[in-house]
């Protein structure tokens, strides 16, 4: 794209590209300049020099322009842009030493991922304007990011993320979904080895692709998933969920000890892969994260078609060698059904991501994607099981125009998945959840969870959904431990808010209202659109005597689920203990939910 035709020769060529845009603004710059212009200019110039000479080279960024009280920066990579924003906040602290609070320079930073039009001198486009608008939503000393940026970050690893909902900003016709972030924090309840006899913690990181293409990057994720699937069959290993480790291969700035601590793993499986004709060349290493020593390594080649179909025997052999290196015995070779193409693999995880955004438009797009996968792969249980989950979430959000039909469709989808693969652990877990939530058939639900954990003792969803069933049955200690165990198996899950919600629910049912509120607020920080989180939080706050806070959250809940009433809650509540449902219904009434 060039402007020479319309503007004459000599004008710089314009190029379209997808970039991470970072806009930096100084808080109250006018007041600071009026108070001490020379000092502010001196500090700002030295700060800008430090950004140019240290921050940008470290993160491969470009300074588009520097103003008297702000900067416009661009990066090729989201993680680099966010890391640079955090570095700038930290760097600014050094320019505020020995100054009173009113004289300190503080930054507001906005970050957006978008397509821009750029030349050597500047960048243009609505996405640049959005990044600038995001600065107004950041707190002093903080950063605000768009949905497009949020999709690339891992809460608790890249930063501590807070969903502040859909926000209106100047000159934009629609609100924008926004998150605030701060520097990375360690989990408040660090992951650990479990109490169920799973004593060796292992995490399989996505393999580094030696080719630059997007499809090859997905191949690294798929290779890791195949290894993880085989390792998860070993009942004495605590294997971290693939959803928690997905995307961590790009975070080379994190040390093995940091990754292992965040994941709750002692050992890391990592490596590289490269396509060579019909083969995939693999190099696999097992690292002791504490000592950073490689305790086992192997190189091999695998048929590409076998990788895509989930039938590559080499993965079972590699997992057996890893298992022998860890615990002195050979793992059984087993592969579970997977989607047969990389394109489908990417489509599935895209659908799951949209499903848990809980924006109605995205939620319905997820349904279309899952329907497409069912048509493309009629013999795979995976998309059918997730469609069952879609219908249950539709009920839980209060979005169903026909709850009875959605309940029937949920049961039909999970049953269809089990007809195809009776021992598919995720399908068993989801069928158990549907049986308990929709049909209130806890006997079937319990049987399904047992079957899921027999098939895969590390199936985090089975532990998670089992916790709710135990809570409804008032087996409270087991319920809380089951929910915590699920989170230990997937400590960096992209759906961390979902795990926090179940911990909050089990603590609520156990009468631990303070704990329920703590985890409910954590869940809300991850996703403000989850109606079930808000319901549990409202009830916990009301029962804890925090009625005003409960009423405020009840208003937010009713905006998401305007049809919620006490009678509707009673009708769909899965718990069968009359005293339990009466107590919770009374809490909702205290918070102002209509009868």
Query: DSSP letters of 150-187?
Result: HTT--BTTTBEEEEEEEE--TT-SS-EEEEEEES----
Q: Which residues, in sequence order, are CB contacts of 97 under 8 Å at separation 6+?
A: none
Cβ contact 114:166 at 8 Å:
no
pLDDT at 194: 35
Among the ranges given (41-50, 290-299, 386-395, 499-508), the one the predictor scored with the smallest mean pLDDT = 290-299
Closest CA to 489 of 239, 189, 249, 261: 239
> How large is the average pLDDT for residues 95-114?
93
Look up the pTM and report it. 0.76
Domain range summary for the chain, segments of one domain joined by + = 14-182, 200-327, 341-457, 485-595
* Identical fold between 341-457 and 485-595: yes
- The CATH T-level fold of domain 14-182 is Alpha-Beta Plaits (3.30.70)
Residue 39 scores a pLDDT above 70:
yes
231 pLDDT tier (thresholds 50, 70, 90): confident
Q: For the chain, give the percent of residues with pLDDT over 90.
A: 52
Q: What is the C-alpha to C-alpha distance for residues 525 and 381, in angstroms, rounded to an integer?
A: 32
Q: CA-based Rg of the chain, rounded to a whole angstrom?
A: 26
510/481 Cα distance (integer angstroms):
12
b/e burial code for range 53-86 (CB count within 10 A of at least 16 → b): eebbeebebebbebeebbbbbbbebbbbbbbbbb
Enter the DSSP assignment of 94. Answer: G
Percent residues over pLDDT 70 in the chain: 87
Region of 571 (left: φ > 0; alpha: ψ -120 to 50; beta: rest) is: alpha
Per the DSSP assignment, residues forming a β-bridge with 161 are: 181
Q: Classify residue 197 by burial, with Cβ atoms within 10 Å: 0-12, 13-18, 19+.
A: exposed
Domain 485-595 has CATH 3.10.110.10: no
The domain made up of 200-327 has a fold known as: Rossmann fold (3.40.50)
Residues 413-469 have pLDDT tens digits of 999 999 999 999 989 999 999 999 888 999 999 999 999 999 988 899 999 999 999
Looking at CATH, the fold of the domain delimited by 341-457 is given as: 1.25.40
Q: What is the pLDDT of residues 534-573, one digit of tens each?
A: 999 999 999 999 999 999 999 999 999 999 999 999 998 9
pLDDT surpasses 70 at 9: no
């Amino acid at each position: 794209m060039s402007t020479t035709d319309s503007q004459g020769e000599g004008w710089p060529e314009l190029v379209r590209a997808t970039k991470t845009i970072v806009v930096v603004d100084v808080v109250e710059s006018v007041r600071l300049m009026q108070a001490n212009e020379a000092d502010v200019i001196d500090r700002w110039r030295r700060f800008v020099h430090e950004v140019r000479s240290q921050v940008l080279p470290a993160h491969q960024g470009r300074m588009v322009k520097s103003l008297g009280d702000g900067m416009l920066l661009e990066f090729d990579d989201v993680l680099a842009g966010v890391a640079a924003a955090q570095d700038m906040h930290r760097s600014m602290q050094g320019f505020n030493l020995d100054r009173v609070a009113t004289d300190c320079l503080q930054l507001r930073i906005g970050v957006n991922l978008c397509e821009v039009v750029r030349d050597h001198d500047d960048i243009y486009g609505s996405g640049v304007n959005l990044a600038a608008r995001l600065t107004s939503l950041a707190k002093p000393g903080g950063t605000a990011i768009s949905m497009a940026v949020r999709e690339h970050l891992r809460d608790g690893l890249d930063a501590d993320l807070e969903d502040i909902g859909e926000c209106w900003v100047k000159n934009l016709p629609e609100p924008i979904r926004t998150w605030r972030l701060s520097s990375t924090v360690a989990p408040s309840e660090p992951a650990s080895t479990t109490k169920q006899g799973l004593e060796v913690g292992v995490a399989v990181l996505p393999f580094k692709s030696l080719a630059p293409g997007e499809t090859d990057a997905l191949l690294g994720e798929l290779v890791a998933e195949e290894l993880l699937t085989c390792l998860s069959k070993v009942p004495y290993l605590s294997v971290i969920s693939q959803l928690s480790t997905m995307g961590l291969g790009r975070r080379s700035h994190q040390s093995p000890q940091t990754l292992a601590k965040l994941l709750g793993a002692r050992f890391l499986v990592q490596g590289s892969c490269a396509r060579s004709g019909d083969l995939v060349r693999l190099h696999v290493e097992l690292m002791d994260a504490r000592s950073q020593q490689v305790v086992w390594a192997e190189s091999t080649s695998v048929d590409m078609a076998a990788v895509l179909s989930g039938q590559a025997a080499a993965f079972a052999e590699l997992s057996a060698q890893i298992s022998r290196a860890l615990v002195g015995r050979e793992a059984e070779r087993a592969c579970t059904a997977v989607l047969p193409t990389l394109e489908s693999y990417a489509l599935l995880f895209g659908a799951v991501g949209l499903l848990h955004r809980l924006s109605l438009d995205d939620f319905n797009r997820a349904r279309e994607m899952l329907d497409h996968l069912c048509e493309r792969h009629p013999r795979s249980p995976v998309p059918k099981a997730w469609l069952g989950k879609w219908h249950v979430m539709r009920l839980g959000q209060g979005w169903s125009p026909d709850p009875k039909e959605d309940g029937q469709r949920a049961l039909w989808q999970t049953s269809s998945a089990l007809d195809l693969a009776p021992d598919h652990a995720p399908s068993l877990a989801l069928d158990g959840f549907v049986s308990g939530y929709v049909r209130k058939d806890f006997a079937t639900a319990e049987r399904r969870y047992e079957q899921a954990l027999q098939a895969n003792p590390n199936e985090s969803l089975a532990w998670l959904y089992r916790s709710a069933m135990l809570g409804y049955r008032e087996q409270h200690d087991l319920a809380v431990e089951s929910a915590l165990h699920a989170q230990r198996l997937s400590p960096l899950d992209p759906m961390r808010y979902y795990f926090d919600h179940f911990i909050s629910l089990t603590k609520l049912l156990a009468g631990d209202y303070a704990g329920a509120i703590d985890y409910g607020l954590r869940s809300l920080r991850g996703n403000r659109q989850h109606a079930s989180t808000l319901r549990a939080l409202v009830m916990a706050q009301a029962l804890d005597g925090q009625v005003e806070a409960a009423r405020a959250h009840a208003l937010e809940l009713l905006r998401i689920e305007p049809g919620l009433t006490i009678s509707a809650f009673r009708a769909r509540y899965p718990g069968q203990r009359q005293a339990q449902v009466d107590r919770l219904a009374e809490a909702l009434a205290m918070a102002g939910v209509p009868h």
